[in-house]
Amino acid sequence: MGKRLCIAALMCMITISLFAQVPDTLLNAPPDDLNLNANLDSMLHLWYIDKYRDADQWSEIDSLEADSIHTTIPDSVYIARLARIPSVVDLTYNPIVRRYIEVYTVKRRSSVENMLGLAEYYFPIFDEVFDAYGVPNEMKYMTIIESALNPRAYSRARAVGLWQFMYGTAKLNGLTINSYVDERLDPIKESEAAARYVKELYGIYQDWTLVIAAYNCGPINVNKAIRRSGGKKNYWEIYYHLPRQTRGHIPAFIAAAYVMNYYKEHKLVPRKCDLPIPSDTIMVAERLHLKQVSEVLGIPLQELRDMNPQYIRDIIPGQPDRPYALALPMSYSLKFIDLEDSIYHYKDSLFFSQNMLAQPVYTHRGYAPGPRPGNSGTIYYTVKSGDNLGFISQWFHVSVSRLQDWNDLYRTRIKEGQKLVIYVPKSKVSYYKSFNTMSFADKQKSIGASGDKLNTPGATFTQGQDEFYTVKDGDTLWDIAKKFPGVTGSDIMELNNLSNPSKIVPGQKLRIRKRSS
């Protein structure tokens, strides 16, 4: 009995000691809004996760039972378990960390079981890379909070991949990004870049907790937080000086480390992912299409894509002086070597044009408008201040590309006073001629007056019901989404039936969301 009391007293002292590392204002403060949901939800759209999401063999315990398991665990148990995890990163425990553990072990159990299955494939890759670079093994848990182990994760800030590299940071760390390859999507290449980057950050801060914070929000923001706190370098002492998203980053990391080591205690079961373990790598020094490999070797194309997500057009642009890696299931690597010549020549004329030379077509200097539609009349519209091709295309119910073709325009820029030739139905020539004297507001009111739909795919509601945004020059879908709280780029794509986020043009009206009644 005395021995038990001693142990209880010791755990109580440990609890008091660890909580003392946290400012008093944090102990009673509600945790910040969690930033995990977007990555956790996007992970569920992976093909190899979706195949098993509803599989019968994955029975999940009742959420009430899960909640009872969690609430019966005292703080002292969490503290003892975290202390047993070998880690150079300070795994501090406090109410904020407990809240994040609750998210993983109670609220998002299904997502965590998917991540546990993916970890069996990705964590050995991270371990090997980090060992080579001398980076602490536990830094791999950063991918849980950065991307939810989704290799195709894409944030609003345009960070990409498992390690969520921005374009500039990726290039500075030696990753290749071009029309065919984005090595931010390559688990090995991106992990190597992440290892180099965290070592560089550690050289600045000499503290792995601050490294994780700087990885998320950038060293400039961490340096500002340190200065504003009077030079303090303890994460919890600069907590409120950090960007809001980063405040939750370290508690989420600690919770991720906890759940990856103690998931069994919470009756979490790793869900199988359909990525082959183990895999092998073949260096490709010629152009190769993934369909060539798929059809000759009999490997499902989607499996090849999931193993090689960096090839964004399914093409490996290999050259003798610049080979690229192709990941294959281990059981197919020898077969690839045996059939290598056959694979490269399989339907090569279909996948790659053999005629790389083309003669330019010479034309006279004068310009003739594009072909005139049948049964149409011609009008000339004079561009007014504030006009753009997007507006004009909607007023005259033609596409922007038609306007460009008819007027020999290679860009969408037009200038005030410029005359545009436009072909319209003969029966409406007089109606459209009047647009030269109408005000901008009147022309906007005319949209849809002829019975045509707005020049926006999937228009099903009237303008009075929905909130619209007119695309401006230089806008991207993700920039537009940031202007509307609670709206994502994916939401806008779905509302407008857009399949490609880059296919938007200045002047196009996008439906943002339905107006609340």
Whether residues 262 and 289 fall in one domain:
no
CB count within 10 Å of CB 157 equals 11
Last residue of some domain: 266, 299, 322?
266
**Own/partner pairs for 67-76, CB < 8 Å, 24+ apart?**
67/106, 69/105, 69/266, 69/267, 70/101, 70/102, 70/105, 70/106, 70/266, 75/15, 76/8, 76/11, 76/12, 76/14, 76/15
Same domain, 232 and 319: no
Considering the domain architecture, whether residues 331 and 451 belong to the same structural domain is answered as no
In a domain, 499, yes or no: yes
**Counted domains in the chain:** 3
Range scoring the smallest mean pLDDT among 194-208, 361-375, 408-422: 361-375
pLDDT for 205: 92
Q: How confident is residue 79, by pLDDT bands cut at 50, 70 and 90?
A: very high
Tell me how far CA of residue 24 lies from CA of 14, 29, 75, 95, 446, in angstroms: 17, 9, 17, 11, 62
508 domain-assigned: yes
Q: Label residue 193 by pLDDT band (50, 70, 90).
A: very high
| Closest C-alpha among 29, 11, 7, 9 to residue 94 | 29
**How crowded is residue 162: how many other Cβ atoms within 10 Å of its Cβ?**
28
Query: Which 3 state secondary structure label does DSSP give 149?
Result: coil
Which carries the bigger pLDDT value, residue 461 or residue 206?
A: 206
453-496, pLDDT tens digit by residue?
333 333 333 344 567 888 887 777 777 877 776 677 777 877 77
* pLDDT value at 59 more than 60: no
pLDDT tens digit sequence for 337-389? 989 888 988 888 888 865 555 656 544 444 455 566 667 888 999 998 878 88
- Same domain? 487 vs 399: yes
Of the given ranges (172-186, 255-269, 317-331, 363-377), which has the lowest mean pLDDT? 363-377
> What is the percentage of the chain residues whose pLDDT exceeds 70?
75
- Domain check: are 283 and 340 in the same one? yes
Is 368 part of a structural domain of the chain? no
Q: Which of 266, 294, 328 is the last residue of a domain?
A: 266
Instruction: Specify whether 217 is located in the same domain as 174.
Output: yes
Please check whether residues 153 and 287 belong to one and the same domain: no
Those residues whose C-beta lies under 8 Å from the C-beta of residue 109, and which sit 6 or more positions away, are 60, 61, 63, 66, 268
* pTM, to two decimals: 0.59
Find the farthest-apart pair of alpha carbons in the chain and give their distance in angstroms, rounded.
102
Q: Are residues 288 and 385 in the same domain?
A: no
Residue-level pLDDT at 462: 38
Residue 274: inside a domain, yes or no?
A: no
Structure tokens of 7?
């142990």
Query: How high is the pLDDT of residue 408?
Result: 81
Domain region containing 288: 279-350
Looking at residue 427, what is its pLDDT?
Answer: 85
CATH number of the structural domain spanning residue 471: 3.10.350.10
pLDDT at position 30, please? 42
First-residue to last-residue Cα distance in the chain: 65
* pLDDT beyond 90 at 400: no
Mean pLDDT within 185-201: 92
Mean pLDDT of 202-212: 93
Q: Quick check: is 271 in a domain?
A: no
Q: Residue 157: which of 489, 511, 503 has the closest Cα?
A: 489
Enclosing H/E stretch for 30: none
Mean pLDDT of 448-452: 44
pLDDT digits (tens, 9 = 90+) for 301-342: 988 998 899 999 999 999 988 999 999 988 898 999 989 888
150 located within any domain: yes
User: Do residues 301 and 325 both lie within one domain?
Assistant: yes
Is the model's pLDDT at 120 over the cut of 60? yes
Q: For residue 32, is it within any domain?
A: no
Residue ending a domain, among 266, 295, 314, is 266
Cα separation, 89 vs 84, whole angstroms: 13
Residue 504 lies in a domain: yes
Question: For 244-254, how does the pLDDT look when each residue is reduced to its tens digit (9 = 90+)?
Answer: 888 888 999 99
Say if residue 16's pLDDT is above 90: no
CATH code, domain with 158: 1.10.530.10
Whether residues 336 and 437 share a domain: the answer is no
- Kindly state whether residues 383 and 419 are assigned to the same domain: yes
For 293-299, what is the mean pLDDT?
92
Q: Please indicate, yes or no, whether residues 393 and 473 belong to a single structural domain of this protein.
A: yes
Coarse DSSP helix, strand, coil percentages of the chain, rounded to the nearest 5 percent: 50, 10, 40
